[in-house]
């Protein structure tokens, strides 16, 4: 771990960002350029004290999870992310591991979407980022660990995962999940995280194993779908997907036509948030 290089790199990247670059309000005039340390810490879900110690060359070696969070908070490119890992004494993620560093171009778009559900998914069905509307609709994805970080894995191992779709649409959704995973498996290889996920699901789900044998391949999302919210009921939405050039990540945006019941329900998500109501 090169503390001097790590501290200098973090400080320079922080000073080059502006609040509007990361979806924060501009607010009053600032005495110093760039983001404040507490803002970077909040974006990375770490304490201000922890981040400050890193910039002051006295912090502990960050974990890979911490470095990934910092790379997202500072909107680093892939090259900058790899450099961050190396000066911190960690191996840079390889494509075969299915790295979950959010592509900055997608992240900039997501930062500006604050009136409708939007989220960024990896090709393994992992939610890499989500706005408050998506969290209110799908739940907080950060609580999942291990294989369960993949929505594909949860679809075949956790019955609750299917409750967001009407019962008549669940068979099609299952086939779509498997077809998307097969596309990721083809691009990442059998010894990748995609391969590990396939092997784990073949052991745990007879339904998955049967669908896997169909050899269906797809890499797209249904343009129109019905989702179910615990309090608001069915919400009919249009789904638009923006893929990265290598197809490894996608930004999903859910919308409904103005002046419709579905539109009003999506707006209400911003009011309800993730609060649960008891009847």
Confirm or reject CATH 1.10.260.40 for domain 3-88, answering yes or no. Answer: yes
The pLDDT of 188-195, averaged and rounded, is: 88
What percentage of the chain carries pLDDT values higher than 70?
A: 91
What's the pLDDT tens digit per position in 202-213?
Answer: 999 999 999 999
Whether 199 has a pLDDT exceeding 70, the answer reads: yes
pLDDT of residue 99: 54
Whether 98 has a pLDDT exceeding 70, the answer reads: no
What's the pLDDT tens digit per position in 241-276?
Answer: 998 887 888 999 999 999 999 999 999 988 876 554
Domain ranges for the chain, please list them: 3-88, 104-272
What's the pLDDT tens digit per position in 115-140?
Answer: 899 999 999 999 998 999 999 999 88
The pLDDT of 22-40, averaged and rounded, is: 77
pLDDT tier at 221, thresholds 50, 70, 90: low
Work out the mean pLDDT of the chain and round it to a whole number. Answer: 87
pLDDT of residue 169: 92
What's the pLDDT tens digit per position in 75-97?
Answer: 888 778 888 989 999 987 765 55
Whether 151 has a pLDDT exceeding 80, the answer reads: yes
CA 95/CA 188 separation, integer angstroms = 7
Using alpha carbons, list the distances in angstroms from residue 213 to 66, 175, 180, 181: 38, 11, 14, 13
The 3-state secondary structure of 21-64 reads HHCCCCCCCCCCCCCCHHHHHHHCCCCHHHHHHHHCCCCCCCCH
Task: Determine the straight-line distance between the first and last CA of the chain, rounded to whole angstroms.
Answer: 54
* Signed CA dihedral, 39, 45, 51, 52: sign only: positive
CA 127/CA 131 separation, integer angstroms = 11
Q: Report how far Cα 98 is from the mean position of its chain's Cα atoms.
A: 13
| Nearest Cα to Cα of residue 2 among 230, 116, 10, 141 | 10
pLDDT of residue 167: 93
Whether 278 has a pLDDT exceeding 90, the answer reads: no
Q: Which residue has the tokens 């959704």?
A: 173
Alpha-carbon torsion, ordered 6, 7, 9, 14, to 10 deg: 140
Give me 176's structure tokens.
Answer: 């779509």
Confirm or reject CATH 3.30.450.180 for domain 104-272, answering yes or no. Answer: yes
């Amino acid at each position: 771990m090169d503390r001097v290089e790590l501290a200098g790199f973090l400080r320079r990247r922080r000073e080059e960002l502006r609040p509007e670059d990361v979806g924060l309000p501009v607010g009053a005039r600032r005495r110093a350029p760039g983001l404040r340390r507490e803002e970077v810490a909040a974006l990375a879900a770490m304490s201000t004290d922890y981040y400050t110690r890193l910039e002051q060359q006295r912090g502990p070696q960050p974990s890979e999870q911490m470095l990934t969070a910092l790379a997202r908070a500072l909107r680093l490119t892939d090259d900058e992310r790899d450099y961050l890992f190396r000066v911190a004494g960690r191996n840079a993620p390889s494509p075969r591991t299915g790295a979950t560093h959010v592509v900055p171009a997608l992240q900039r778009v997501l930062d500006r979407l604050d009136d409708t559900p939007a989220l960024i998914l990896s090709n393994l069905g992992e939610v890499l980022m989500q706005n408050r509307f998506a969290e209110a609709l799908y739940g907080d994805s950060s609580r999942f660990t291990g294989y369960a970080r993949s929505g594909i894995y949860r679809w075949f191992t956790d019955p609750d995962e299917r409750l967001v779709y009407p019962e008549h649409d669940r068979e099609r959704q299952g086939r779509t999940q498997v077809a998307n995973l097969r596309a990721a498996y083809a691009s990442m290889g059998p010894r990748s995280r995609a391969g590990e996920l396939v092997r784990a699901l073949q052991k745990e789900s007879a339904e998955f194993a049967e669908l896997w044998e169909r050899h269906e391949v797809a890499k797209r999302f249904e343009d129109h779908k019905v989702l179910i919210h615990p309090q608001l009921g069915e919400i009919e939405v249009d789904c638009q997907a923006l893929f990265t050039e290598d197809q490894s990540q996608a930004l999903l945006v859910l919308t409904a036509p103005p002046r419709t019941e579905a539109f009003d329900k999506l707006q209400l998500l911003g009011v309800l948030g993730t609060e649960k109501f008891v009847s």
